[in-house]
A and B are shown apart, each in its own frame.
Chain A
């Protein structure tokens, strides 16, 4: 989503909050299904995790490359710098937040638990349990919560600055 203008800082933080919420949902699903041995695809539930990618804002680049000014590179201390004339505010490196590119299934093998009484046990008495480590999910959840809070703080800082600028 291309973002520009004064509210783009809010949009960036919102995208971060959204991404962490989706991550939190995946963790909740993993915890809820930590013992699920039957799924629609057959076999035990597989751990899900989200993959984040940085969202690049291509529109800003085109906006800014319109007036490319000459810019000399200095390779020697004795060179005279030729600065670009009134170069545009460089947003070339800017992204516009974060994107959840996919929700992937963990390919780790299922956990084999010896429980001959279980209806899904194989001939040796082993049950294929989901490849979920509850401790791992819990630590992941803490990380997601903290990352969410950091985004909320950034959002509030941007909001406070925008409100301040109305006071001039």
Chain B
């Protein structure tokens, strides 16, 4: 019974995806804060976080995916959605001379605002899911 409830309430919803999305927004916020803090540091290279592209890759059904019947198998091709995680990296900028800081403060501020809105959206969406669950449990219409 408990298993069934778990399955229905949590596994059949995309709560795990939402929490990953929140995690990635938090990580991206950290990356942007770090870029802003180092805006005047000579030689600093900016950090970016990719998550949406990884997720898109995992959702692309046209990509090959190896099925695994043993835990020792090497995962091949497309990632499982559960295994999609945010990834921090240094973007490659071939026009940049070595030893020069590549942080553009305006871009970072814009990204900061954008990321904050994305985070708020996911929070609101998650709140909505819990609200719906609650109303279904209590048998009352949504207010």
Contact = CB atoms under 8 A, between A and B. Distances in A.
Instruction: Determine if chain A interacts with chain B.
Output: yes
Interface of A: 6, 8-9, 12-13, 15-16, 19-20, 23, 52-54, 70, 80-83, 85-98, 143, 146-147, 150-151, 153-155, 157-158, 160-161, 164-165, 167-168
**Residue with the highest number of chain B CB atoms closer than 10 Å, among A82, A83, A96:** A83
Given A165-B22, A167-B127, A150 B89 contact: no
A90 B90 CA distance: 11
B133 interface: no
B92 to A, nearest CB: 12
B119 A164 contact: yes
Given A13-B36, A155-B33, 7 more contacts: A6-B26, A143-B40, A151-B36, A158-B29, A160-B116, A161-B25, A161-B116
Interface string B4-35: 00000000000000000011011101111110
Contacts of A20: 40
B37 A19 contact: yes
B29 A94 contact: no
Given A16-B36, A97-B34, A157-B116, A54 B44 contact: yes
Contacts of B22: 165
B119 A94 contact: no
A1 B122 CA distance: 31
A168 B127 contact: yes
Given A12-B33, A16-B36, A147-B39, A93 B88 contact: yes
A164 B115 CA distance: 13
Given A82-B76, A95-B34, A54 B41 contact: yes
B89 A81 contact: no
Contacts of A157: 29, 33, 112-113, 115-116
Contact of B36 (A92, A94, A154): A154
B99 interface: no
A161 B90 CA distance: 24
Contacts of B108: 150
B85 A167 contact: no
Given A89-B87, A90-B87, A96 B120 contact: no
B23 A83 contact: no
A157 to B, nearest CB: 5
A89 B82 CA distance: 13
Contacts of B90: 93
B37 A9 contact: no
A54 to B, nearest CB: 5
A81 B79 CA distance: 10
B142 interface: no
B30 A9 contact: yes
Contact of B88 (A16, A53, A70, A91): A91
**Residue with the highest number of chain A CB atoms closer than 10 Å, among B36, B79, B89:** B36
